[in-house]
């Protein structure tokens, strides 16, 4: 099939490369011309395991093309995916400007029938708005071309995006059209061979499913963070509570970690956008508001602990930060807990020595050069002369840290661990003080 994808970010690029890999001819369009040039040369600027190889393989096979020319891209396709960003607007609602701009572009350049697929995370009713925008453009051009819009939300996770896409638990397609069903069946057939993973439903339900899924996962995290607070006060250990709770098959272990709060490009904005949708229809989203409030408090918790551990003052102190990405195996720092900690440290006059295995380039882009920031080349380098260490991301490389060496490299003796990576006894035996999440002894 001939497929065009608008937006070559985490979702668009993974979708494009994976669909090309099973034999479709995929054209990826992006407004960022520098990105397009680099992708044409096989240079994938984001860090996502396996993505560079996948992109290069399909570029070389001429199944994956990159362009900044939307006319060429729209003409080339039977199916057009919209995978552009939908960041939070100031009032918490999803900012649909990029999605609707793509709809305009499609309507401006379309001259044969197409199936348009909303893959971006968009509020209920957006497919109808996309349809209206395209129809208006066609009418303005004096054309009457059959086209259909469906919803196909994406559930991949950064860090395991390719596996999530290729081995998705389910592929949700919201449509009321038999033709779209048939087209989407063919599109996903290579990923749908053993048992049927495609779930067809009405468009509004598909749109709401994506938000409901993310809000549920965010709620699990906030729930555990709330229980962690209680655990600290009552003398319980959240890690043992987690094992006890998660082993109930009705609950399970996924997304059940207490920590530094959820971040990333999805959970924070999607919880807010769903709350906004609820309010817009007159329903006060009590639970969603609590999920967000607990998360905001948890992101501040790391700094509060640090302040407490350093005697109430961080001015003039040097703090090592391990992990800047919002989670391991990605370079994405959008809404990462690290950003709250680092900003608070700067606000209170501390210097930061940070290390992240993949997010250095992103940190440079976000923060630029500053006197109170050193981006270290290794975890050890970040520790040299530090008064304290804060762990924001659970990169596996940090798990095996030599705690005695940590103690030697640091000037101070405090670890504030937002990810509960270590056994408190082992940290204490290394001569370090340890403040972690939901463990009263630390
Ligand atoms: P991103 O910011 O990484 O990428 C978006 C891309 O779209 C950018 O390259 C941008 O230049 C491009 N773009 C913007 N306007 C455009 C236009 N008019 N025409 C062509 N390209 C345009 O975003 P992302 O993380 O890939 O997310 C995309 C959507 O998928 C969002 O709605 C997001 O909520 C959703 N989603 C993201 C994830 C994730 O883990 N990142 C997972 C599931 C769903």
Evaluate whether residue 243 is within a structural domain: no
Mutate to test the pocket of ligand 1, among 4, 12, 214 (most ligand atoms within 8 A of CB): 12
Return d(Cα 101, Cα 225) in angstroms, integer: 39
Task: Domain count for the chain, please give it.
Answer: 2
My answer on whether 389 and 300 are in the same domain is: yes
Mean pLDDT by 10 residues, the chain (442 residues): 97 98 98 98 95 98 97 94 95 96 98 97 98 98 97 96 96 97 97 92 98 98 98 95 98 96 96 97 98 97 95 97 97 97 98 98 97 98 98 97 98 97 96 94 56
In a domain, residue 242? The reply is no
360: CATH:
3.40.50.720
Residues 30, 26: Cα–Cα separation, whole Å = 13
pLDDT, position 195: 85
Show which of 157, 179, 201 is a domain's final residue. Answer: 201
- Shared-domain flag, residues 336 and 422: yes
The C-alpha atoms of residue 213 and residue 190 are separated, in whole angstroms, by: 25
Distance 336 CA to ligand 1 centre (A): 17
Range of the domain at 346: 267-436
Partners of residue 31 on adjacent β-strands: none
pLDDT of residue 76: 84
Distance of CA 229 to the CA centre of its chain: 25
Same domain for 18 and 155, yes or no, is: yes
Residues 175, 324: one domain? no
164 close to ligand 1 (CB < 6 Angstrom): no
Pocket-testing residue among 45, 85, 268, ligand 1, by greatest number of atoms within 8 A of Cβ: 85
Q: Tell me if 391 is assigned to some domain.
A: yes
Name the H helices within 282-378.
286-309, 337-347, 360-367
In a domain, 45, yes or no: yes
CB distance 266 to ligand 1 below 6 Å: yes
ipTM over 0.90: yes
Predicted confidence at residue 441, as pLDDT, reads: 59
Q: Which of 173, 201, 229 is the last residue of a domain?
A: 201
Distance (angstroms) between ligand 1 centre and the Cα of 85 equals 3
Q: In angstroms, what is the span from residue 414 Cα to ligand 1's centroid?
A: 39
Q: Compute the distance between CA of residue 228 and CA of residue 241 in angstroms, rounded to an integer.
A: 9
Q: Which atom of ligand 1 is least distant from the CA of 269?
A: 34
Q: Please tell me whether residues 135 and 278 are part of one structural domain.
A: no
CA of 9 to the centre of ligand 1 (A): 5
Does residue 286 sit in the same domain as residue 195? Answer: no
- Cβ(263) – ligand 1 distance below 6 Å: no
Quick one: 170 and 284 in the same domain? no
Separation CA 229–CA 78 (nearest Å): 52
Ligand 1 lined by 442 (C-beta under 6 Å)? no
Same domain, 288 and 182: no
Specify if 50 maps to a domain. yes
Quick check: is 227 in a domain? no
Instruction: Give residue 285's pLDDT.
Output: 98
Per the CB < 8 A criterion, the answer to whether 162 and 10 are in contact is no
Domain boundary, last residue among 201, 219, 248 = 201
Give this prediction's pTM: 0.95
193 and 279 together in one domain = no
Do 333 and 188 have their domain in common? no
Q: Does the residue 367 lie in any domain?
A: yes
Please tell me the predicted confidence (pLDDT) of residue 238: 97
In this structure, the answer to whether residues 374 and 290 fall within a common structural domain is yes
Same domain, 25 and 172: yes
The structure tokens 């053993």 sit at 194
434 three-state secondary structure: strand
Rounded to 5 degrees, what are φ and ψ at 237?
Answer: -115, 115
Q: Whose CA is nearest to atom 30 of ligand 1?
A: 120
Q: Does any domain span residue 214?
A: no
Q: Are 401 and 243 in contact (CB under 8 A)?
A: no
Q: Is 392 a catalytic residue?
A: no
Per-residue pLDDT at 68: 97
Please enumerate, as own/partner, the contacts of 201-205 that have beta carbons within 8 Å and a separation of 24 or more: 201/172, 201/173, 201/174, 202/174, 202/175, 202/176, 203/127, 203/128, 203/149, 203/150, 203/151, 203/174, 203/175, 203/176, 204/124, 204/125, 204/174, 205/174
């Amino acid at each position: 099939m001939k497929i065009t994808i608008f937006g070559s970010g985490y979702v668009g690029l993974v979708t494009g490369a994976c669909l090309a890999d099973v034999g479709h001819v995929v054209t990826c369009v992006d407004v960022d011309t520098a990105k397009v040039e680099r992708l044409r040369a096989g240079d994938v600027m984001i860090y996502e395991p396996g993505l560079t190889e996948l992109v290069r393989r399909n570029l070389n096979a001429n199944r994956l093309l990159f362009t900044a020319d939307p006319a060429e891209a729209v003409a080339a396709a039977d199916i057009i995916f919209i995978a552009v960003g939908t960041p939070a607007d100031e009032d918490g609602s999803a900012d649909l400007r990029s999605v609707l701009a793509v709809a305009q572009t499609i309507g401006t350049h379309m001259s044969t029938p197409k199936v348009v697929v909303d893959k971006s995370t968009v509020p209920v009713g957006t497919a109808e708005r996309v349809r209206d925008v395209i129809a208006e453009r066609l009418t303005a051009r004096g054309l009457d071309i059959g086209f259909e819009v469906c919803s196909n939300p994406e559930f991949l996770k950064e860090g395991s995006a390719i596996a999530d896409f290729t081995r998705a638990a389910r592929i949700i397609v919201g449509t009321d059209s038999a033709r779209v069903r048939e087209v989407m069946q063919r599109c996903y057939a290579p990923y749908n061979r053993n048992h049927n993973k495609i779930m067809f439903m009405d468009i509004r339900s598909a749109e709401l499913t994506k938000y409901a899924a993310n809000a549920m996962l965010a709620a699990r995290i906030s729930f555990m963070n709330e229980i962690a607070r209680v655990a600290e006060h009552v003398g319980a250990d959240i890690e043992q509570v987690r094992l006890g709770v998660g082993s109930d098959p009705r609950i399970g272990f996924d997304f059940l970690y207490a920590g530094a709060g959820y971040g990333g490009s999805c959970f924070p904005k999607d919880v807010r956008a769903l709350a906004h949708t609820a309010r817009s229809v007159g329903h006060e989203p009590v639970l969603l508001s609590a999920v967000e409030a607990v998360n905001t408090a948890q992101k501040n918790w790391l700094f509060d602990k640090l302040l407490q551990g350093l005697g109430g003052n961080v001015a003039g102190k040097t703090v090592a930060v391990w992990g800047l990405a919002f989670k391991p195996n990605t370079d994405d720092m959008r809404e990462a807990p690290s950003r709250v900690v680092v900003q608070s440290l700067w606000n209170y006059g501390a210097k930061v020595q940070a290390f992240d295995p993949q997010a250095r380039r992103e940190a440079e882009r976000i923060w630029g050069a500053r006197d109170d920031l050193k981006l270290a080349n290794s975890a050890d380098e970040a520790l040299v002369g530090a008064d304290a260490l804060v762990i924001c991301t659970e990169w596996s490389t940090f798990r095996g840290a030599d705690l005695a060496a940590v103690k030697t490299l640091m000037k101070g003796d405090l670890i504030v661990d937002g990810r509960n990576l270590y056994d408190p006894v082992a940290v204490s035996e290394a001569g370090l003080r340890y403040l972690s999440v939901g463990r009263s002894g630390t």
